[in-house]
Chain A
Amino acid sequence: MKILTGNDLKTGAVIWWTGVGWSLDVNDAADVAEDGAAIVAREEGVQNVFAAYVIDGVRSDEGVRPAHIKERIRALGPTVRPDLTLKPSDPDAINWVI
């Protein structure tokens, strides 16, 4: 699947295109197929998001995961600070990064 990511303009937070808006949780990411470029052009035009780009992702029983390790770390947070990740209450969350 193709998933679309970017950063929130005001906070810099990593965000994911859900099909209707943006989410902080990669599990909400939608498959944008071939529409990524058009969504980027539209969304950056309304100034909510910047530095948007399309990446490869995989959907499994566990949720949506970026294909490359760099993007998985970007989606979760620093592996060395579980308390600052997307799932701070889940100490095993880093297992899906590595």
Chain B
Amino acid sequence: MYKYDEYDQEMVDTRVAEFRDQVRRRISGELTEDQFRPLRLQNGLYLQLHAYMLRVAVPYGTLNSAQMKVLGDIADKYDRGYGHFTTRQNIQYNWIKLEETPDLLAELAAVEMHAIQTSGNCIRNISSDQYAGAAADEIVDPRPYAELLRQWSSFHPEFLTLPRKFKIAVIASEKDRAAMKLHDIGIKMVRNDAGEIGAQFYVGGGMGRTPMIAPMIREFVPLDQLITYSEACLRVYNRYGRRDNKYKARIKILVHELGKDEYTRQVEEEFAHLLTLPIEPPLAELERIKTHFVEPAFDAGASDELDLSDPDFRLWVERNTHAHKQAGYVIATVSLKPVGGIPGDASADQIRLMAQLAKDYSFDELRVTHAQNIVFPHVRKADLYTLWQALDAAELGTANLDTVGDIIACPGLDYCSLANARSIPVAQKISQRFGSAEKQAELGELKLKISGCINACGHHHAGHIGILGVDRKGVENYQLLLGGSEGADTSLGQITGPGFDEDGIVNAVEKATNVYLSNKQGEERFLDTYRRIGMAPFKEAIYG
């Protein structure tokens, strides 16, 4: 994985020193809160419902063991013994003290991590496929391109005060595991007819109060123009994105209002201008970055045999592992969704255990997924049972990946000052209602996502089943959506009708799944059946 050079390290260390001084001045009274607030937000420090919250960037979700261990240590030393992995592949701490934040950031910097640009109207952490570099179906490892974009977007002076926040995802396979089309810019690495690698650009997607699927605006951008084209997309947005209305300030609104063709025309015009400057980093820089993403030293003779005589292990293998490009290896996903648990939360001990296990069994690498799970990307099949036993002993062995139990849920009203309703208790009740292995097997792939407000951090628009919490005259109320998807077949869920209370929404989910089971044909997933039979039978069952 990428290693900081002296410039990266100096930038991060300098920022820590700068923030240390800003915190000192805030506490001494030299800075007012109005003056200090943008400074702390630029360093990922929010004020949430109960305390300060720190959001730490995990570039494209990739971590090494040393970094993961530090994340666990920070949970103990500066928080209350746990961390929360987010839908942006980051980690958040909920109980941070301002006076301790500079020391915390210094400990992060020591392992090449930071919280810069995890807040504010700038380009946020670049996300990617959690199976990058390991998946059998990728045409190339997307992470070097994500890293190039990270370096370009970090401290980019022109894009630190955009009309609104800006999110970029990079993938390199047909199967979209990063919700790419629901980003401000989604980049899909592709191969053209000449066999060359390039980037396909999708611009203007997003969730929030106005969900939109990004249209493709360029089929192929050559690698030596990747940054220039990205710059052109941002420049048009920065120039014409609406700053007068926060709710219409995202690029999706600009692309929608201009129309895809006009936005694309303006980008191409800006692109042509930028090509004359030129601003593109030399390809040698991309090649330098690629050297950090070389394949691990796989055992070419690793056995493909797997002893599945333990039924619990067998179930976990079936549910939570994915084909690796290297024979004898698998990609293993740790579900942070135990039955009745809090989606995305992990204790300090669990985080440190995963760090050690990655060191022992996954070439020192881990990934955070946007579904709030953790991936061991390179596990030798011969080590898989030992790995699972260690995980299972620490309550990390739940076999429910991509099932109804693998729920994405935002922190909701239990933690978030923007939320209107609690997400986590609803997730816990659904997880318990559908917790049995038999029930999950019966329902198959079913992606359920819960947001506690219209900002959609829980990706409810993209759930096969989505739940949106709203405030109805001071009482929590939950709307049900059906038919969303974040995959290659991206679609937006549709609201079924009037909302429910907490128990009512769990019952409504059960009724929806019963309609699926009654109408399922062959190997259809819930989403497939919904698309075939439409909303009407579901509404009838839920409200009839």
Q: A interface vs B, CB < 8 Å?
A: 7, 9-14, 44, 47, 50-51, 67-70, 73-74, 77-81, 84
Contact = CB atoms under 8 A, between A and B. Distances in A.
Contact of B49 (A44, A50, A68, A74): A74
Contact of A14 (B51, B414, B419): B51
B80 A9 contact: no
Given A13-B51, A77-B50, 7 more contacts: A7-B47, A12-B52, A44-B33, A51-B47, A69-B476, A78-B424, A79-B422
B26 interface: yes
Nearest to A69: B474
Interface string B8-46: 000000000000000000110100010000000000000
Contacts of B424: 78, 80
A12 to B, nearest CB: 4
Contacts of A14: 49-51
B80 A84 contact: yes
Contacts of A9: 26-27, 98
A22 to B, nearest CB: 15
Contact of B475 (A11, A44, A69, A74): A69
Contact of B97 (A10, A70, A78, A79): A10
Contacts of B97: 10-12
Nearest to B96: A12
Contact of B413 (A11, A44, A73): A73
Contacts, number: 69
B99 interface: yes
Contacts of B476: 69
B85 to A, nearest CB: 16
Contacts of B419: 70
Given A10-B99, A12-B97, A69-B476, A47 B413 contact: no
B430 to A, nearest CB: 14
B98 A10 contact: yes
Interface residues of B, number: 30
B47 A12 contact: yes
Contact of B414 (A10, A11, A13, A79): A79
Given A11-B97, A12-B98, A70-B413, A80 B428 contact: yes
Contacts of A70: 49, 413, 419-420, 471
Interface in B471-493: 471, 474-476
A47 B29 CA distance: 6
B509 interface: no
B82 to A, nearest CB: 9
Contact of B50 (A47, A50, A78): A78
Given A12-B51, A44-B33, A78 B27 contact: no
Contacts of A68: 474
Contact of A11 (B51, B342, B422, B428): B51
A78 B98 contact: no
B409 to A, nearest CB: 10
B385 interface: no
B50 A74 contact: yes
Contacts of A51: 33, 47
A10 B47 CA distance: 12
Nearest to B52: A12
B413 A69 contact: yes
Interface in B401-438: 413-415, 419-420, 422, 424-425, 428
A68 B95 CA distance: 23
Contact of A80 (B26, B414, B475): B414
Q: Give the top 5 A-B pairs by smallest Cβ distance, nearest first.
A: A12-B52, A12-B51, A78-B414, A50-B33, A47-B29
Nearest to A51: B47
A5 B98 CA distance: 18
A88 to B, nearest CB: 11
A11 B98 contact: yes
A90 to B, nearest CB: 17
A73 B49 contact: yes
Contacts of A11: 51-52, 97-99
Which of A9, A11, A68, A70 has the most chain B CB atoms inside 10 A of its CB? A70
6 contacts: A11-B51, A12-B95, A73-B414, A74-B50, A78-B50, A84-B80
Interface in B447-471: 471
A10 B98 CA distance: 5
A21 B97 CA distance: 20
Nearest to B423: A80
Nearest to B97: A11
Contacts of B422: 73, 79-80
